[in-house]
Structure 1
Amino acid sequence: MNEITFPYPVLGNGDDYSDSAFQAVVDIDLDGEEDDQKLKIAYRFNLSNQEIRRKIDEKNASYALEIVCVDSFFRSVLLVPEEGDHYLPIGDLYGRLNIQPLVIATGSVKAFSSTDFNEEYEGHRFQIEPGDMLAIDDMVVRYIEFLHLNFESLVRITTSQDVDPLEYGFDTENDLLTINMGEKFREIWNAYHIQQEFAPLLAMSVYKDCLVAALEAISTSDSDGDAEQWRWARALNTKLAQLNISVPENPDFTALNRVAQQLVQNLGVRRLSKNA
């Protein structure tokens, strides 16, 4: 775990505590019938520090799981009991899934202290506010494509010196469909694509354009079957069949654009319409 500097001791972050421990066991699997599968996250926390446990008992702190799936713009912080299961719709997740076990403050603590602080903090008291982190364990990382292969998990993003700084392009002739971004555009992407208010707009632009390029590659190579050699193309054809979406023969840009818009609706238009 990379150490992060906090203005107060955090259990599990370096050596802020002498003997206390905080650990979490997290198991991830698919659950349910094939047409209604969910991602099951089973967890169990082990916390030996009595002062932090007391804050949990007093409802001033809680065990938590921060769940982030960058590729699908998903982020959630769950306040959870010491042990249990949580279920997420599998359709909301693809690519790399990060699960960060935490203990976070849910109330203000005016003078937090522990008999297990290391020598640097011994005898000190700290003001803790809601949202502050009290304990952290190693991040659990899983790749959803190994559980539930889909087209989106086969898209990767790179920074390219060959693309103008504020532009992006696509490479369709590999197993992974690649979005090549100019340096400045990649900075913008990194800054905004996990923010809930901006994610749908990016999905409707970058991912939609990516899908237009992918659909064009498939439609122009269908006659000789070249597209089937690429993993992303096989996955995209499967996705189209699942959604009962058909691509017309010899499609023009308008037809390809319409199909691409249908494919990104859940990431773009529908999310915006819920908040309208």
Structure 2
Amino acid sequence: MKIDNIAFPHPVLGHQNSIIGNVTLGPEEGRPVIETREDSYEITVQMNHDNPEIHRLIAEGKAEYYCEIKCSDTLLRKVVVSKDNLISVSLSRAEVKRKVEFLCLCITTEIIEDYRNALFHEDYIDFHFTLEKGDILAYFGKFSFDAAIQYQKLKAAASFMEIVPQEDKNEEYVDYVLSGPKILIKLPIKDHELFSRDIIRTRKEFTPIIHGSIVQNALTVALFNFKTYLEQETLWAKTIEYRLLNEKELNDGSILIDPDNIVIIVQKLLGNPTRRLLEGLEDIINIKPD
């Protein structure tokens, strides 16, 4: 058995069926909760399993739940342990930068001799093991978040997209730049000047029209290149990755995008922008002059 290239001399629940049973991370629909506050990130992790022997060891104080937090950009390493499977972690914004990683386990708190488990895989059923303090009993998995992502604004297009002017005053067409933290929609200078007028930029009745045209086109182009820029860990791609993983209605909880489904996924990400565009036009038509 290996977890991150480390071999274990005993069966571990949650890895390669060496112990029969289920492990999940919660508490919301199989995923931890990440709450962004003004000065901190509040993370709630629930480690669930159905193994009676491990439950007994925890109840007797011989095992505990373990959550390790690492941020390589700030050299943060923190460990939180608990006898409760629900763990809350508070990280100040100053502690983390970019990727923050979590490892969730159940570990022993003392030496356990003659460790047996009725749900060992048949390959191990006749074996007894001596476990040292800190040995892994259950592996619940890993997850991470990017401290640069504005999780409280994920559904706002501005969280991953920005409209800017072209540098070349002679350029007549829209261009898209995907290599930066945000998707850049580069409008010809005259078009950007028109877009930037307060009557267009700040009036909420124009928002669905912008989403159904400029933004929808840009996001479609971006998703056709999503895999490439996710591998490069660009922030806009990681923002969309988080939504795809955590909003199952978008793509069944998967980041593997079928090109034939991109148009539909774009519309789901933007909340049916074409319908909102048409309804927005209807609202403008029905606006009565003062």
Q: What is the TM-score with the length of structure 2 in the denominator? A: 0.47
User: Rg: which structure is higher?
Assistant: 2
